[in-house]
Amino acid sequence: MQRLPSWTGWLCAAACMLGAGAGKACAEETSSSRAAAATSVPLDDLPKGVHESVRAVVEHPTLHTSGPTESFTCKPAQYYDFLEHPDRAVALWRKLGAKCLSISDRGKGRFGWADEHGSDVHWDMVLSSPKTRIWYSEGQVRPNAWLPTVSFQAVVVLHLTETKDADGRPMVRHQAELFIHSDSKTAALAARLLGPSAPRMAENYITQIQTFFSALSWYCNEHPEALERLEKDKQPK
């Protein structure tokens, strides 16, 4: 199976090579389109402790992009469990043969990722409602061996709706938005290196984040016997 990084891997890549360097991409958006994107985020529903941090990112992003709308059959409760515990999703993907980046449970609902090059990223689900999930992330990543670390803040907004297919089976329809902000000087260098490819790359990253959850939820629903076997297997090294 092809390499399938965890969604934090895509977030980190987006932050260091897109969010941190996509000033050009965001400049191509009109102020009205950025304002419209910000209104899709229910800021008033956020806890006071993170309200201002999230608002600053969604109202002044270095980059904003959206994934496609996806609909897939699944057990909604299981899908929600993957959203709240991405480390469990990584474990199952690995048992299916995917090579995923590690996610650590840092306690109290916080998850994170780090590497030996100085990258360290953590995120929290700051809103969980029937129609929306919002994660706030911050940290630093090293884009390349020849670039310094880049500090960033990011917000991932997942819009979702439960529905049913023609046969009455439960389905979920979701679409994710990614907002990233960085003031790093490395951003300008990354923007020059990426050029016009940055917006397309950013869209690919958010699409892969969606697939990380949707494909696994669909598979577990379609192959319950395989899921039971996977959960009994030891975690591959």
* pLDDT given at position 24: 43
* pLDDT given at position 36: 67
**Any idea which of 17-21, 53-57, 111-115, 195-199 has the lowest mean pLDDT?**
17-21
Who wins on pLDDT, 46 or 117?
46
Contact 21, 191 (CB under 8 A): yes
* pLDDT given at position 111: 94
* pLDDT given at position 33: 61
C-alpha distances in Å from residue 64, one per residue of 29, 37, 163: 9, 8, 27
Please report the beta strands in 165-212, taking only residues with DSSP state E, as ranges in sequence order.
170-181
Contact 178, 156 (CB under 8 A): yes
Task: For 154-173, write each residue's pLDDT tens digit.
Answer: 999 999 999 999 999 999 99
Contact 210, 72 (CB under 8 A): no
Confidence grade of residue 27 (pLDDT, cut at 50, 70, 90):
very low
Rama region for 139: left / alpha / beta (φ>0; ψ in -120 to 50; rest) = left
* pLDDT given at position 145: 66
Mean pLDDT, all residues of the chain: 80
Task: For 169-226, write each residue's pLDDT tens digit.
Answer: 999 999 999 898 887 665 555 555 555 555 666 777 788 889 999 999 999 999 988 7
Give the residue-averaged pLDDT of 110-131. Answer: 89
Task: For 77-97, write each residue's pLDDT tens digit.
Answer: 999 999 999 999 998 998 888
Rama region for 228: left / alpha / beta (φ>0; ψ in -120 to 50; rest) = alpha
Who wins on pLDDT, 120 or 16?
120
Report pTM: 0.83
Task: For 145-154, write each residue's pLDDT tens digit.
Answer: 666 777 889 9
